[in-house]
Amino acid sequence: MKIIEGNIEDIEDIDTKIDNSYNGTCFAYSWFLKLKNSDKILKIYDDKNILQGFMPIFNSDNKKNIFQSTMYIPYGGPVIFNVPNEERHKIRYFRNIEKVLCEYITNNYEKADFSIDDKIIDIMPFIRSNFVPEVRYTYKIDLREGIEKIYKKFGRDRKKDIRKAFSKNIQFVVDKDMKYFDVEQAMKWEKKYGEESSAEWVKKYINTTLTLNKGMCFVAKEDNEVIGGVHIAWDSNVAYILYSFYEPKKDDIAISFIYYKMMEYLINNNIVSFLDFEGSVFESIENWNISFGAFQSRFYNLHWNKFNKPYLNLYDYGEK
């Protein structure tokens, strides 16, 4: 295996390759990387000089640093095109890819912080190369089960919210033109908890997902007033909940209703197999996700620096 640095444009028909890959997500698409001004990649080749995948290098102010904020980019790490079928070969294959990535990163960068998606569980080569693993969890719904079976798994409070929404004749709107979705409202959570991204960039991103049929906005309306909204983006297999808002006086009823109707929309239109709540390190949000009967899926953030500086408070997940 070897690494060759390049750009996303180097790989022909890259977005189709991502859709057909073992673990590619919509956060590796060429258009997403370009929106993030992060089209630099590490191309992974085997000993026969055949491309096996790539890893996005998300921008940092320091070119010697790799920095991926999981608040804005949930999953990163290597995107692998071909995986052996036999388990023993699969383990060796993943480890060889990780070994060569570790060697390249530690030889060419001063600091690296990035996540890997939840399909890659074996991270021993990173640990052996002194990367610090940070355990994270996301929560998912298996949409292949159908809406009736999914609804039965909802907690009592969520079922109550949804019944209340129906009794109030709350309207569910598929907002294809972003006519009702309020980006400023949706970004209030970011302003409270994390580094603020611009509303202009978020609008551009959401509009791009709508234009490319890689995402959708949904809103709930009561008496022609918008009381909540949710934006999702998707790849060939998973839809990710990314931005949302609701009127506090509505006590989350709008979001419960949107989630239920959104799942129904994804199932009826056969868009993806899974809905990813896109995780949270905050216990209150985790409990909210769990209340929909979502199952837990583990993934890792990986941290390394050449100065051997300790990573403090990686697991400090209390409400800020």
Alpha carbons 70 and 290: distance in angstroms, whole number:
20
* pLDDT value of position 231: 97
Burial state string for 264-278 with b = 16 or more CB within 10 A and e = fewer than 16: bbbbeeebbbbbbbb
Domain boundaries, the chain: 2-130, 139-297
* pLDDT value of position 53: 98
Using one digit for the tens of pLDDT, what is the confidence trace for 248-273?
876 679 999 999 999 999 999 999 99
* pLDDT value of position 103: 98
CATH class of 2-130: alpha beta
Residue 59 pLDDT class (50, 70, 90 cuts): confident
What is the helix (H) or strand (E) element at residue 186, kind and residue range? helix 183-186
Domains 2-130 and 139-297 share a fold: yes
Stated pTM of the model = 0.93
148 in Cβ contact with 264 (< 8 Å): no
Eight-class DSSP state of 235: -
What is the helix (H) or strand (E) element at residue 172, kind and residue range? strand 171-174
Task: Locate 205 and state its tokens.
Answer: 């991103």
Decide which of 4 and 187 is more confident.
4
Calculate mean pLDDT across residues 186-204. Answer: 74
* pLDDT value of position 70: 77
Residue 319 pLDDT class (50, 70, 90 cuts): very low
Alpha carbons 291 and 276: distance in angstroms, whole number:
14
Provide φ and ψ at 91, rounded to 5°.
Answer: -60, -50
Reference 118, options 257, 292, 288, 301; nearest CA is 301
Local structure of 147: helix, strand or coil? helix
Average pLDDT, the chain: 92
* pLDDT value of position 189: 65
Local structure of 228: helix, strand or coil? strand
CATH 3.40.50.720 correct for 139-297? no
Calculate mean pLDDT across residues 57-67. Answer: 88
Dihedral of CA 302/25/14/196: which sign?
Answer: negative
